Amino acid sequence: MMWLLLAGAVAAGPGASGGGSQGAGAPADPEVQRQAEAEERRKLEEQVARELGAPPASGAVPSAPAPGAVAPGGDPYARLLLLPDISAIGRGALAWNRLDAGSLSPRQGPVAPAGKLQPIFQELEVGLQAVVDPYLRADVFLTFGPEGAAAEEAYVTTLGLPGGLQVKAGTLYAPFGRQNQQHPHVWDFVDGPLSQSRQVAAEGLKGPGLDVAWLAPLPWFAELHLAYQETTPAFEPGGRRTGTARLVQFFELTEGVTLGAGLSAARLDEGGGGWRDLFGGDLYLRVRPPRGRAYLTLQAELFARRLSAMADPALDGAKVGGYGQAFLRLSPFWGLGARWDTAPGQAAGLPGGPEQRGSAVAAWYPSEFSRLRLQLSYDRLPGGREGLEALLSLEFSLGAHGAHPF
Amino acid sequence: MTSRTKPALLLLALLLPPARAGAALQVVTTTEGLGALAREVGGAQVEVTTLSRGTQDPHFVDASPVLAVKLRSADLLVDQGLDLEVGWLPPLVTQSRNAEVQPGGRRRLTAASAVTVLDLPTGPVDRSRGDVHPAGNPHFLTDPRRAALVAQAIARRLAELDPAHAAAYAANAAAFSARLEAALSRWRAELAPFQGRKVLTQHRTLGYFLDWTGLVSAGELEPRPGTPPSPAHLARMVELARREGVKAVIVESYYDTRSGELASRLSGARLVVVPGDVGADPQARSYQAYVELLVRKVVDALRG
């Protein structure tokens, strides 16, 4: 109906105008005629607007999209925008050890047979990271190593829970201590501290479960974690149901000086009424003048482990270990570090007492995406045996790897 | 109040969002340059916090969780974008628990969306070309024309978040643009005698500055973005500087100036250490003062 009326109006308009001027028989003044036509058009536009229920024409008509903004057929490459960030980080080392560390000093990290220069492929970590939807992001890290492939971590993180809460769910590192939650390629040293391997978990305390973190409404950073997971502790097979609690705080002492302090506790169900209790305290101090890229970090962790009501009563008891380290990034391209580490001796047949280890590392960073490190370590086993270890490690990073937490 | 209800109320109080100090909008910016623009536009209606200092290299800020606390109650987060802050901002945003400052959120403004971008890499892009920004050069605040566009974008976003003061934000942005426009004419007049002059820079941070000043880059001291100048590359740059009559080696204050000093001494060009951002120099407290200082230092060197 509306279209019929419109068509009528369009048909009638010019005819009425033309008939009027011709009927007068006078020579048409071009200016008058133009004004008349403009007036007719204005009336017609008003009529069209009335019929369509649209507001009278005023202001600029929205322009057509600029050429190029809408390509014919769309953008065939737009799907790439939806790909998650994909990255791969590879690590390998040339290792030499005077001791037979594999049997005398079991640990995480590249270990060579005694007296042999051994090339070791440590790990290839493949990361897939993206926002899932407006409520969640996901981080997946697959690791390929000499023992095969596994999901190092694969979890979702909530983005907007109220009350300062944040939940991570999936398979993830337990919120226990500082270094336990860091991937090896973030470490300043080529291997992890002995004390963490022995007291907490050989490959890091991790497993499926969830971690609920609450950020306290305080002027500094204070976060309380409560986690429930299945984890596998140091050098022992089988998962244990594990509850972990951690309070971590960060303070800006002065400009460029940040102090972090954490306390952690975990209880692992050893079955048959037995329990493994882990306690940890960690300190982290970072001094970084705003100008330039140099910084100094000091990091120390203390771990205590207590076994109680175990099926084998000989296992019951408590052990303590820990490490302290300093790392100086001299420039964008060079860094130096030193670490001292003490942990209970692990190998069978050794007398009781702690194993001590001192390490020094020199790192060269050709760019932000590769580093070459030389680490020299000196081990002193319970009973007095000593040995030197040398590790030359190469690491490279491809693609877009998400930035790491502090 | 019974002894049982007290702990419950305390817990409830801790779970509630932190109380705001005043009615002002809490604007958090990644850099001091963006902070200066937010202050110009927001006036008394905003309180501005910056996550980095003008003395810092904005590519390499520490992602201290203390900064995530600043984002928790932010009404607006303004970042530069184009991967400038990719090494430190994303974990802070995730830790902040503030869903609306996530990329694309109502309270997130990525300044790069307001400007046309230079140095978009063409052809295959990989890191053999150095630490490239694949989406283009993020150092656009060395161009006052683009800074004015960013200020207008901030004004529009503040108006959406705080409609009661929309007119004030628009008026502040217009007044700021007008002041910059007047200053721009003056700066251009000062720079007019040096059109087409070649300069050396440390990194491609000054691409936008060269774009509006009419100066031309003879080369960068870094052979590729983010890689250190090798002796061979520096020697080539010195030769180039001598051949092309380069009068100035321009280096931002957050870089190590040793390579610049050497290139300057061997080539005869003057080393100009310029503020890297607002706040990098006591004289660069506002955006206009920052550009003023940048122009003055470069003009002084080119005159010499």
Cut 0.90: pTM above it: no
Range of B169's domain? 23-182
For residue B62, give the nearest of A162, A288, A332 by CB distance. Answer: A288
Chain A residues with beta carbon closer than 8 angstroms to that of B65: 221, 223, 250, 260, 405-406
Same domain for B139 and B260, yes or no, is: no
Task: Give the pLDDT of residue B11.
Answer: 61
* Distances B130 to A369, A398, B226 between C-alpha atoms, Å: 10, 13, 6
Domain count, chain B: 2
Q: Which two three-digit tokens encode residue B203?
A: 């990194």
CB contact under 8 A, A217 and B95: no
Chain B residues with beta carbon closer than 8 angstroms to that of A219: 69
Chain A residues with beta carbon closer than 8 angstroms to that of B227: 366-367
CB-based contacts of A389: which residues, under 8 Å, 6+ apart?
A95, A96, A97, A98, A99, A101, A112, A375, A376, A377, A378, A379
Q: Provide ipTM, 2 decimals.
A: 0.87
What is the pLDDT confidence band of residue B15, given thresholds at 50, 70 and 90? low
For residue B102, give the nearest of A159, A218, A286 by CB distance. Answer: A159
Strands A354-367, A317-329: pairing is unpaired
Is the Cα dihedral B188, B190, B195, B200 positive or negative? negative
For residue B91, give the nearest of A218, A368, A405 by CB distance. Answer: A405
Task: Give the pLDDT of residue A211.
Answer: 98
Does the pLDDT of residue B142 top 70, yes or no? yes
CA B67/CA B49 separation, integer angstroms: 10
Task: Give the pLDDT of residue B14.
Answer: 58
Q: Which two three-digit tokens encode residue A326?
A: 């300093």
Q: Mean pLDDT, chain A, as a whole number?
A: 86
Q: Minimal Cα–Cα distance from A196 to chain B, Å?
A: 24
Radius of gyration (C-alpha) of chain B in whole angstroms: 22
Looking up tokens 């771990």 gives A303
What is the pLDDT confidence band of residue B7, given thresholds at 50, 70 and 90? low
Q: Minimal Cα–Cα distance from A42 to chain B, Å?
A: 34
CB contact under 8 A, B66 and A258: yes
Same domain for B86 and B212, yes or no, is: no
Does the pLDDT of residue B19 top 70, yes or no? no
Same domain for B142 and B45, yes or no, is: yes
Same domain for B260 and B278, yes or no, is: yes
CB contact under 8 A, A223 and B65: yes
CB atoms within 10 A of CB B42: 24
CB contact under 8 A, B95 and A166: yes
CA B9/CA A378 separation, integer angstroms: 55
* B292 located within any domain: yes
| Section A124-152 average pLDDT | 94
Same domain for B178 and B43, yes or no, is: yes
CB contact under 8 A, B60 and A293: yes
Q: Of A340, A344, A386, A392, whose CA–CA distance to A364 is shortest?
A: A392
Residue where a domain stops, chosen among B182, B205, B234: B182
CB contact under 8 A, B62 and A369: no
Q: What CATH code would you report for A164-399?
A: 2.40.160.10
Chain B residues with beta carbon closer than 8 angstroms to that of A164: 15, 17, 72, 97
Instruction: Specify which residues A124 forms β-bridges with.
Output: A90, A144
Domain limits of chain A?
164-399
Each residue's pLDDT tens digit, A350-392:
777 899 999 999 999 988 899 999 999 999 998 888 999 999 9
Same domain for B199 and B172, yes or no, is: no
CB contact under 8 A, A250 and B57: no
Q: Minimal Cα–Cα distance from B13 to chain A, Å?
A: 9
Task: Give the pLDDT of residue B141.
Answer: 97
What is the pLDDT confidence band of residue A4, given thresholds at 50, 70 and 90? very low
Q: Which two three-digit tokens encode residue B221?
A: 């001291």
Cα–chain-centroid distance for residue A352? 40
A-B CB pairs within 8 A amount to 111
| Section A280-293 average pLDDT | 93
Same domain for B255 and B299, yes or no, is: yes
For residue A250, give the nearest of B65, B131, B254 by CB distance. Answer: B65
Q: Which two three-digit tokens encode residue A258?
A: 């940040």
CB contact under 8 A, B66 and A251: yes
Task: Give the pLDDT of residue A352.
Answer: 77
Q: Which two three-digit tokens encode residue B211?
A: 């774009």
| Section B169-189 average pLDDT | 97
- Do the beta carbons of residue B158 and residue B169 sit within 8 Å? yes
Residue where a domain stops, chosen among B159, B182, B205: B182
In B, minimum Cα distance to A253 occurs at B66
* B235 located within any domain: yes
Percentage of residues in chain B with pLDDT exceeding 90? 79
CATH value at residue B251: 3.40.50.1980
Chain B residues with beta carbon closer than 8 angstroms to that of A368: 131, 226
Percentage of residues in chain A with pLDDT exceeding 90? 61
Same domain for B32 and B148, yes or no, is: yes
Residue where a domain stops, chosen among B161, B182, B203: B182
Radius of gyration (C-alpha) of chain A in whole angstroms: 35
Same domain for B157 and B67, yes or no, is: yes
Q: Mean pLDDT, chain B, as a whole number?
A: 91
For residue A403, give the nearest of B14, B90, B99 by CB distance. Answer: B90
Does the pLDDT of residue B86 top 80, yes or no? yes
| Section B69-90 average pLDDT | 95
In B, minimum Cα distance to A248 occurs at B65
Each residue's pLDDT tens digit, A46-85:
777 777 765 544 433 434 444 445 567 777 777 888 899 9
Chain A residues with beta carbon closer than 8 angstroms to that of B275: none
For residue B65, give the nearest of A163, A165, A221 by CB distance. Answer: A221
Each residue's pLDDT tens digit, A291-334:
888 999 999 999 999 999 998 888 899 999 999 999 999 998 99
Where is B178: in which H helix or E strand? helix B166-191
- Do the beta carbons of residue A86 and residue A399 sit within 8 Å? yes
CA B154/CA B27 separation, integer angstroms: 10
CB contact under 8 A, A131 and B102: yes
* B271 located within any domain: yes
- Do the beta carbons of residue A343 and residue A197 sit within 8 Å? yes
Please state the φ and ψ torsions of residue B184, each to the nearest 5 degrees: -60, -40
Where is B302: in which H helix or E strand? helix B287-303
